[in-house]
Amino acid sequence: MNILQVAQETTPKEIVSSATLEKLMDKLIDLGYELGLKIITCLIVYYIGKFIIKWVEKLVHRILERKKIDQSVKSFLGSLVNITLTIMLIMSIIGILGIQTTSFAALIASAGLAIGMAMKDNLGNFAGGVMILFNKPIKIGDYISAQGQEGTVKSIGILYTLLTTADNKTVFIPNGPLSTGNILNFSTQEQRRIDIIVGVDYGTSLSQVKEILNSIISSNPSILQSPAPFVGLQKLNDSSIDFVIRVWAESSEYWNVYYYLNENIYEQFTKENINIPFPQLTVHMAGNTTENK
């Protein structure tokens, strides 16, 4: 069979189908090539963008260090810069892929109300973080008590404040409730007062108790003499006579002095046979009476 016979036997429909398939394959190849270029470009932009973001973060950090900005502000601004630049990078990649950023922005705007309702807590946390940095009730390194938690402030982010507890647990407190709730900051003052109440039996010599307590106080050099230590009878309780001890120490020595006083009071009272009573109740039973008739 020669070429002329093949041409005669080939129908026009088969010729059209073959040409259409060939055009379709060419179109797919062109689209694949174009898409491949876009993907490669996006990858290059992504890695370059991540490098630029890290470089900008370091630059901002150096500038803030040079300006001696508070560590809490540096932590917050660092998080804000990272998130802002990351969003810009994502928008750039979306534009490279051919998605219209204007349409994308319009879609975000139309869904803004729903997103705002869903993220109202996070928006409140963001606003709370700004208020914390503006009012400065706490800073990194402070030991605080807030929202039922105690610990040292490690960082103040845009949404959460990070605490490390005394037993080395990590606690994340949302900035919204933190900024509107009560915060007890133990680190703002250089000195703290230590109050200890100890009870003794009725009949114990008051002068002896005060002499022992003053001796214990004077034996610890971490206890400050100004303001002067105070020992006095606070209350005549149901089962005990309660003495109050009020001494001052540097904030860093608070717990050392607190435990020292408790341990030595117990030890000295035991040595001097002074009893520390526990709550007790004495019940008098009336005897049965028989009426003589």
Q: What residues contact residue 259 under an 8 Å CB cut-off, 6+ apart?
A: none
What CATH class has 124-185? mainly beta
Residue 151 dihedral angles phi and psi, to the nearest 5°: 170, 180
Q: What residues contact residue 231 under an 8 Å CB cut-off, 6+ apart?
A: 210, 213, 214, 217, 243, 244, 245, 246
CATH 2.30.30.60-classified regions of the chain: 124-185
| Cα end-to-end span (Å), the chain | 151
The per-residue pLDDT for 194 is 94
Return the DSSP state at 253: G
Rounded distance between C-alpha atoms, residue 218 and residue 229, angstroms: 9
The per-residue pLDDT for 266 is 93
The per-residue pLDDT for 4 is 42
Question: Which CATH number is associated with domain 191-271?
Answer: 3.30.70.100
Pull the structure tokens for residue 199. 């009870």
Identify the bridge partners of residue 245 per DSSP, sorted by sequence position: 196, 231
Rounded distance between C-alpha atoms, residue 239 and residue 280, angstroms: 6
Do you find a cis peptide bond into 12, omega within 30 degrees of 0? no
The CATH number of domain 25-106 is 1.20.1250: no
164, amino acid identity = T
The per-residue pLDDT for 217 is 94
CATH 1.10.287-classified regions of the chain: 25-106
Rounded distance between C-alpha atoms, residue 142 and residue 38, angstroms: 50
Along the 293 residues of the chain, how does pLDDT read in single tens digits? Answer: 444 444 445 455 554 466 677 777 777 777 777 777 878 888 888 888 888 888 888 887 787 777 666 666 667 777 778 878 888 888 787 777 776 656 555 666 655 555 555 556 677 787 888 888 778 888 888 899 998 899 999 988 878 899 999 889 999 999 888 888 899 998 888 899 999 999 999 989 999 999 999 999 999 999 999 899 999 999 898 888 999 999 999 988 999 999 999 999 999 999 999 988 877 666 777 665 554 44
Do 73 and 133 contact (CB within 8 A), yes or no? yes
Q: What residues contact residue 227 under an 8 Å CB cut-off, 6+ apart?
A: 193, 248
pTM of the model: 0.54
Three-class secondary structure of residue 59 per DSSP: helix
Do 245 and 229 contact (CB within 8 A), yes or no? yes
Q: What residues contact residue 223 under an 8 Å CB cut-off, 6+ apart?
A: 217, 229, 247, 248, 249, 257
The per-residue pLDDT for 219 is 92
CATH 3.30.70.100-classified regions of the chain: 191-271
The per-residue pLDDT for 164 is 93
The per-residue pLDDT for 280 is 66
